[in-house]
Chain A
Amino acid sequence: MLRIRGLTKRYRTGDLALDKIDLDVAQGEVVALIGPSGAGKSTLIRCINRLVEPTAGTIALNGVELTTLGKGALRRARRKLGMIFQEYALVERLTVMENVLSGRLGYVGFWRSYMRKFPQADIDEAFRLLARVGLDHMVDKRADALSGGQRQRVGICRALIQNPDLLLVDEPTASLDPKTSRQIMRLITELCRERNLSAIVNIHDVQLAQMFASRIVGLRQGIIVYDGAPDGLTSDVLTRIYGEEDWSATTKRSPEADEDADHEEPGALEPAPLDRDRMAGLT
Chain B
Amino acid sequence: MSAANAASAVPRVWRKPPLIKSAALRWGIGIAVALYLAAAFGTTEVNWGRVWEGLPRGARFFAAFFPPDFTTRSSEIFDGILESIWMTVVATAIGIVLSIPVGLGAAKNIAPAPVYYICRGFLAVSRSFQEIILAIFFVKLFGFGPFAGVVTLAFATIGFYGKLLAEDIEDMDSSQAEAVRATGASWLQWVNFGIQPQVLPRMLGLALYRVDINFRESAVVGIVGAGGIGATLDTAFNRYEFDSAAAILLVIIAIVMLMEYFSGFVRRWVQ
Interface residues of A (CB under 8 A from B): 49, 51, 75-79, 81, 83, 85-87, 89-94, 98, 102-107, 110, 113-114, 155, 158, 162, 168, 282-283
Contact = CB atoms under 8 A, between A and B. Distances in A.
B183 A106 contact: yes
Interface stretch (B60-68, B174-182, B232-240): B174-182
Interface stretch (B69-77, B98-106, B131-139, B193-201): B193-201
Nearest to B193: A102
Nearest to A108: B189
A106 B175 contact: no
A78 B182 CA distance: 6
Given A91-B197, A94-B197, A162 B178 contact: no
Given A51-B178, A102-B183, A110-B192, 8 more contacts: A49-B182, A51-B181, A75-B185, A89-B175, A93-B200, A102-B185, A107-B184, A113-B189
B261 to A, nearest CB: 21
Contact of B179 (A77, A90, A104): A90
B189 A105 contact: yes
Contacts of B188: 110, 114
Chain B binding site: helix, strand, loop or mixed by DSSP?
A: helix
A93 B179 contact: no
Nearest to B195: A91
Contacts of B190: 105
B8 interface: no
Q: Which of B179, B181, B201 has the most CB of A within 10 A?
A: B179
A105 B180 contact: yes
B198 A89 contact: no
A162 B183 contact: yes
A169 B192 CA distance: 24
Nearest to B197: A93
B105 to A, nearest CB: 18
Given A81-B182, A89-B179, A113 B193 contact: yes
B110 to A, nearest CB: 14
B195 to A, nearest CB: 9
B22 interface: no
Given A91-B197, A110-B186, A114-B192, A83 B180 contact: no
Interface in B197-229: 197-198, 200-201
Q: Which of A76, A89, A162 has the most CB of B within 10 A?
A: A89
